[in-house]
Amino acid sequence: MIHTIELNFQDLQQAIAAFLIETHKGLVLIETGPHSTLPHLVQGIRNCGFQPEDVKHVLLSHIHLDHAGAAWYFADAGAQVYVHPVGLPHLIGPERLMFSATRIYGDDMDRLWGEMRPIAPEQLIGVDDEQICSIGQYQFTALHTPGHAIHHVAWQFEDFLFTGDVAGVKIDRGPVMPPCPPPDIDISDWLDSIQRIRDINPQALFLTHFGRIDTISQHLDELTECLDNWSRWIKKHYLEGDSMDDMLALFQEFVGNQLAAKGLNNQQIAVYEAANPSWMSVYGLVRYWKKQLPQ
């Protein structure tokens, strides 16, 4: 049984999820959310009938703070943490990751993300592409799925796929949108990863932002269309020489209008912005096009 745990990020519903699976070798936790939501995660584990110390294995999609920020808490309690090899050194020494985040979020760091402490190397397992991790009676397969991040892993469990950010963000009945933060968005890699998900043909996707998706083909079609739409928008304005400040304001308005056109109210739009801040995608996609276009 897969338990979906609501993390109540910024006191909002359906912004960030974690997932819990019981095995004969302890609980498997897929994603931890940020340290700032740890009290909600701990309570969610207890609401499922377990204790946080029952978590013996933590599977991360990638090391961004909204997905991995609380992993150290479970590692300190003895859990093994599974992560892409490229992301692993940043969990041993998170100083660079936290420094970069602090430059962006400043005084909001504690409120949004909390702490990220080092994880002892012996608690970390770097997973290769298609590596099968046997835990208790189950197998979890690590699928390297770059595009959102070079160190991104989607986790296959039976006929289900836990997709982190590579399958986008979809809140309730809202549209599918791609999170495109810096530093290593790659559209070509992302499209390849979307095709890989299609080829696997899972029964359902489980999105960190947020929850179970059963209409997979339609979902991935929407994601591909929006990724192309956003990428072309940023490319056009970048080539026209718009300033970063102008692009930030215009793109936030552009995305807000897209959400409103789908019938979302201000509260629902706020959840999308918490789960996938549109201004971050400006920085990520501008960086992408700077690398792609001749200077």
Domain residue spans of the chain: 2-292
pLDDT digits (tens, 9 = 90+) for 197-252: 999 999 999 999 999 999 999 999 999 999 999 999 999 999 999 999 999 999 99
Per-residue pLDDT, 107: 86
Q: How many CA atoms lie within 13 A of 106 on its CB side?
A: 1
State the greatest distance between any 2 C-alpha atoms of the chain, in Å, as a whole number: 58
What percentage of the chain carries pLDDT values higher than 70?
A: 100
User: Residue 204, Cβ neighbours under 10 Å: how many?
Assistant: 14
pLDDT digits (tens, 9 = 90+) for 252-272: 999 999 999 999 999 999 999
For the cut 70, the answer to whether the pLDDT of residue 295 exceeds it is: no
Q: Are 223 and 176 in contact (CB under 8 A)?
A: yes
For the cut 70, the answer to whether the pLDDT of residue 122 exceeds it is: yes
Listed range (22-26, 94-98, 131-135, 252-256) with the worst mean pLDDT: 94-98
pLDDT grade for 104, boundaries at 50, 70 and 90: confident
What is the reported pTM?
A: 0.96
pLDDT digits (tens, 9 = 90+) for 134-143: 999 999 999 9
Say if strands 138-144 and 153-157 run parallel, antiparallel, or are unpaired. antiparallel
Instruction: Considering only residues 124 and 108, tell me which one the structure prediction assigns the higher pLDDT.
Output: 124
For the cut 90, the answer to whether the pLDDT of residue 114 exceeds it is: yes
For the cut 80, the answer to whether the pLDDT of residue 188 exceeds it is: yes
Work out the average pLDDT over 98-113. Answer: 89
Q: Please name the residue that has the structure tokens 């949004």.
A: 112
Instruction: Considering only residues 108 and 223, tell me which one the structure prediction assigns the higher pLDDT.
Output: 223
Q: Are 33 and 67 in contact (CB under 8 A)?
A: yes
If you average pLDDT over every residue of the chain, what do you get? 97
Structure tokens belonging to residue 41: 């995660």
Edge to edge, the sheet with strand 26-30 lists 2-6, 17-23, 26-30, 55-59, 80-83, 124-126
CATH of 2-292, one of 1.10.1060.10, 3.60.15.10, 3.30.420.40, 3.40.640.10: 3.60.15.10
